[in-house]
Structure 1
Amino acid sequence: MAPGGNEGTVTVIVSLVLGIWAGGLAYEDWRWRRLPNVLLLCGVLLGAMHWLAFGLMPFGCVLTDALLAGLLGLVLFLPFYVTGWMGAGDVKLISVIGWLGGFKVLFMVVVYGSVLAGMLAVLLLSPVCRDYMSGRQIDSRLRARIPFGAGLAVVVIGLVLGWLDAEAVLSWWPEMARA
């Protein structure tokens, strides 16, 4: 991949940068319920620089898959923004994740991120949470939206750290495994 046999070093550096990027997004969405455009643009630029340097996107897909996955994420989730079910930053993050990783990574991150966001919503509505927070605090947190982008970013961190493997997770779906 990299000239001079430095593939391991490059992988560690790219993984570190991706992890810090996703961690920053998770923090911003969790704390402020906002995904700054500058951080999203950093993800786009990271993908572009990685492709220029190595001919592949950071998660190993080719440029055409990355472009199509990014566009698909934008087109599929834009109606959720229009209806008010999702924030614009979440939609843009989904598109950037498609750009960085292609269809397999996009599918896996959206599914796992949705599960994490759903678990958070159930937790906030659970009696355990009601014992520690007033109903007013819980209602205000739910009205402020569930930090879906934070869930997506945590899944990206899991991919970067090697806790999740898109190939292994999606091997149960034959058409996706061949994509």
Structure 2
Amino acid sequence: MSSFLPKVEKNKKIFSIKAKVFFLSEMWGKNRGGSCLMIKVLFVCLGNICRSPMAEAVFNDMLKKSGLEDRIEADSAGTGNWHVGKPPHEGTRSLLSAKKISCEGLYARQITDKDPEAFDYIIAMDAENAGHVRSLAGYGSKAVIRRLLDYVEDCETADVPDPYYTGNFDKVYELVAKGCSELLKDIRKEHKL
């Protein structure tokens, strides 16, 4: 048994057991319930040009205002590939600009099979996209996969409607802002932030 113990040279300091435990818990975190690891959130819609980049921008703005941008990061993706490489829809950009929320540097991408393991939360805008994400993730994914409005109690709708078809970017913003606010509260509570 003593062969497993490290050899200690004279005048060398070694960490106490308490210091080692503290270091390891800080290094690797306790992921659920107070982690020092970056918490990663992925917002998903169909084409990644309207709803999910709006949610990413709104959520990032909330993180910045609450001082949590060094603990939580957000990204967005689409289940379809039609708009890959394009900036957010003009309706999304205009609305965010009016709200003084930046969407600079956001470009559409398609969700990949690596995303369910890379993100802690994958937040879909509607049931159809949540289903696609669950199919992609398979059984045993580490990510929490939910719809954004699942976080909003007594919401008049379960899905964020697609303004690409409805043109109602104001209503989408209202729902996205509510959902992002409640999601952030949930993450803060879960991770003791």
Structure 1 length as normaliser, TM-score?
Answer: 0.29
Structure (1/2) with the larger strand percentage: 2
Structure 2 length as normaliser, TM-score?
Answer: 0.28
Q: Which has the higher contact order (CA 8 A, sep 6+)?
A: 1
